[in-house]
Structure 1
């Protein structure tokens, strides 16, 4: 039962994050040779090659696109738009690489392996090609993997040279009539000139030459009255047809058996497809038709009940643990907001006067602000610290609301809060700008009758999400107060370091 709940939680986390793990593309290259990685276009992004970012994860994460030409040359690589070219691969280049269309675009991953021995090369960088005797055969189709694209600045292609392993004379990689003596291992070497230096990229192709047979395929049936051949004529209730496809020198034959309407007699027969070859080799496969069993409504009911139970459990788990799941995603998986919405602050904190003596004192307020900023990484706007002097109170407060993603109202025992007129203006501004509001209450405030609250505060408490402050028990960062407060606050944005121009004490 525990394993099932864990599986449901993993499925739920995947649905919530929208993330799907991507397997990197494996790229193998011999030490000392050139290799190129190409970033595929994102269909959701129409900005061409602008904003493509290459990153390396060989020793530590590095933004290769942001490096200067001199730094790239020192590392032995060249970044050009969607292409990343490593001029002479070595073990230090081995590792993972990624590319994306800007920081917010989807990422493509590559895993580069640099082999240093001939045995490793035979295991990792060989391609198998099959051709048939007396037919044309071209090898060059396998000689264009992870090579520099045309148009990369100052890189010039010097062509392709094919050689058969064990022989020194080059060949052109094309056989007009290939023979069995031509089979074996071939190397393809692509040569490039960059900054007056030659760089190579080598591939190995294993050519297998098979004899050309003129084969035939046919269907026949066998039953209580003996065997009989199936006709190709589609006017019969049972017939077959043959299709031939030629791809990369191979001929694929398909013999399709067609039943216009299955009869009782067809169910009592065996149908055999036979391949007859002029070389004397033959093979066959036999099938038997079976009547499809009637659907079991018991099985269907059990399946439906199981799906319903799973859905109910999923909903119950989410409802029960939605706050913990959301905070887990933020803290453990690092699910922070990376898309800028133009706001300067994550939250604007402001006090309001509590009608009881249970509001937060100055020490508790400073502690709350410190935990939000230093432990959880929120960027806060505090009136007595971040608002520039010279503005009217109402104008300064409304400007702070405009620059913040969320507003948090904190109860205080001393009368540090704004008047009812400003509270009404704040309510109107929140509604107009659709800014999220978190309204902190105390336990004493909760037991009051709703009619005892001022009208402006009543409207604000109804417009926002309410969190209850319970004194010392709420000071622990693992308390329910902090879990609810962080749940209602949006995930903190990853801001650039803040430079404070001035401070003001009100």
Structure 2
């Protein structure tokens, strides 16, 4: 009667692997039952390292046959063991096992990839938020469009500021509005501002000058000082009413609110200024009216420039355009 052999037991404890070879054979058969690798018994093949050994054979007798079990124990599985045939012999019959590398855990890879991508996205967002102003200003400078903006506007910003003032704050406001703003935004950055008291024609009515020019501006810059020092200013004046109405209601103009000093309490400020503060926030002046504070590269002016409209290069003349093309091809 031919021998019947099968391997059907595989267990692993920690790093130890045990495989059982179950053999069904007639009682009279005395065939040798053993494990071999490369046609050599495993005990001989691994006699030095004892890393892989053959266990003691066990036998369970039945009425017509015996059930034998011979196991093989891997104390340690190495890369050289994968793909190798470990054969269980019982006379002329044999069965073998082949160890295969475990399939990669796709779910773990997906989770790890998702976590990695999320971490990268969060890092990019944090870096962008931290350097957003510098990135935007760099982009505007590097990819500045050529030509004028065809929106019918003449000025980049209308400057609304409290007047008249007394004491030190009058001097600070005047220096900011009439000296520093023009120096930085107009001379250094190329913007064009409308400042009431500088650009209007003497004798014109405030309402008509304001209504006419606010419609020609792309932004509204509002300069404010602590309410206790400017009580009654920017409160329902004709200029304030017209500029705020046009900015917030009629044209939806973007507003840049600049605090010359930190203002903690807006309770007594006009409702329009409260709304602007809540919607657009405020930029607090951090300079000291020195030459160092009049550089467009300082943090304060970068914030102001970020909220200003992008600047465009003036149109190139035919000669300049030809030189520009020749430079591109020669480079």
> In the alignment, is residue 405 of structure 1 matched against residue 191 of structure 2?
no
Query: Shift of the alpha carbon at 1:463?
Result: 4.7
Instruction: Check the 8 A contact 1:329/1:335 in 2, yes or no.
Output: no
Q: Structure 2 length normalisation: TM-score? A: 0.52
Instruction: Tell me what 1:461 maps to.
Output: 277
Instruction: Tell me what 1:318 maps to.
Output: 128
Of residues 116, 125, 136, the one that matches 1:306 is: 116
Instruction: Check the 8 A contact 1:377/1:492 in 2, yes or no.
Output: yes
Gaps of 5+ in 1: 1-292, 498-506
Greater CA drift, 421-430 or 452-461: 452-461
Instruction: Tell me what 2:80 maps to.
Output: none
Distance in 1 of aligned mates of 2:314 and 2:211:
22
Instruction: Tell me what 2:300 maps to.
Output: 481
Instruction: Check the 8 A contact 2:145/2:313 in 1, yes or no.
Output: no
Distance in 1 of aligned mates of 2:244 and 2:287:
27
Of residues 193, 205, 211, the one that matches 1:392 is: 205
> In the alignment, is residue 435 of structure 1 matched against residue 253 of structure 2?
yes
Instruction: Check the 8 A contact 1:379/1:492 in 2, yes or no.
Output: no
Query: Shift of the alpha carbon at 1:395?
Result: 2.1
Q: Which runs of structure 2 are paired with 1:146-295 in the superposition (5 Å)? A: none
Distance in 1 of aligned mates of 2:147 and 2:110:
43
Q: Per the alignment, do residues 484 and 361 of structure 1 end up closer, same or farther by CA in structure 2, a change over 3 Å counting?
A: same
> In the alignment, is residue 349 of structure 1 matched against residue 159 of structure 2?
yes
> In the alignment, is residue 470 of structure 1 matched against residue 286 of structure 2?
yes
Instruction: Tell me what 2:138 maps to.
Output: 328
Cα RMSD (Å) of the superposition? 3.4
Distance in 2 of aligned mates of 1:355 and 1:344:
32
Q: Per the alignment, do residues 400 and 462 of structure 1 end up closer, same or farther by CA in structure 2, a change over 3 Å counting?
A: farther
Q: Which runs of structure 2 are paired with 1:487-502 in the superposition (5 Å)? A: 487-494=306-313
Instruction: Tell me what 1:421 maps to.
Output: 237
SS at match of 1:452: coil
Instruction: Tell me what 1:362 maps to.
Output: 174
Greater CA drift, 369-378 or 346-355: 346-355
Distance in 2 of aligned mates of 1:416 and 1:491:
35
Q: Structure 1 length normalisation: TM-score? A: 0.35
Query: Shift of the alpha carbon at 1:401?
Result: 1.2
Query: Shift of the alpha carbon at 1:405?
Result: 0.4
Distance in 2 of aligned mates of 1:492 and 1:458:
29
More helix by share: 2
Distance in 1 of aligned mates of 2:258 and 2:127:
27
Distance in 2 of aligned mates of 1:458 and 1:356:
25
Query: Shift of the alpha carbon at 1:351?
Result: 1.4
More strand by share: 1
SS at match of 1:328: helix
Q: Per the alignment, do residues 417 and 465 of structure 1 end up closer, same or farther by CA in structure 2, a change over 3 Å counting?
A: same
Distance in 1 of aligned mates of 2:173 and 2:271:
24
SS at match of 1:483: helix
SS at match of 1:420: coil
Q: Which deviations, in whole Å up to 9, do the C-alpha atoms of 1:170-213 show, x marking residues without a partner?
A: xxxxxxxxxxxxxxxxxxxxxxxxxxxxxxxxxxxxxxxxxxxx
Query: Shift of the alpha carbon at 1:334?
Result: 3.3
Q: Which deviations, in whole Å up to 9, do the C-alpha atoms of 1:29-78 show, x marking residues without a partner?
A: xxxxxxxxxxxxxxxxxxxxxxxxxxxxxxxxxxxxxxxxxxxxxxxxxx
Distance in 2 of aligned mates of 1:355 and 1:361:
10
Q: Which deviations, in whole Å up to 9, do the C-alpha atoms of 1:336-387 show, x marking residues without a partner?
A: 7864222111111221257995463423331221211111111222223433
Q: Which has the higher contact order (CA 8 A, sep 6+)?
A: 2
Instruction: Check the 8 A contact 2:140/2:311 in 1, yes or no.
Output: no
Instruction: Check the 8 A contact 1:347/1:408 in 2, yes or no.
Output: yes
Gaps of 5+ in 2: 1-102, 317-331
Distance in 2 of aligned mates of 1:493 and 1:349:
21
Which has more radius of gyration? 2
Q: Which deviations, in whole Å up to 9, do the C-alpha atoms of 1:291-318 show, x marking residues without a partner?
A: xx78722222222222111111111111
Q: What is the number of residues matched between the two proteins?
A: 203
Q: Which deviations, in whole Å up to 9, do the C-alpha atoms of 1:194-242 show, x marking residues without a partner?
A: xxxxxxxxxxxxxxxxxxxxxxxxxxxxxxxxxxxxxxxxxxxxxxxxx
Query: Shift of the alpha carbon at 1:471?
Result: 3.6
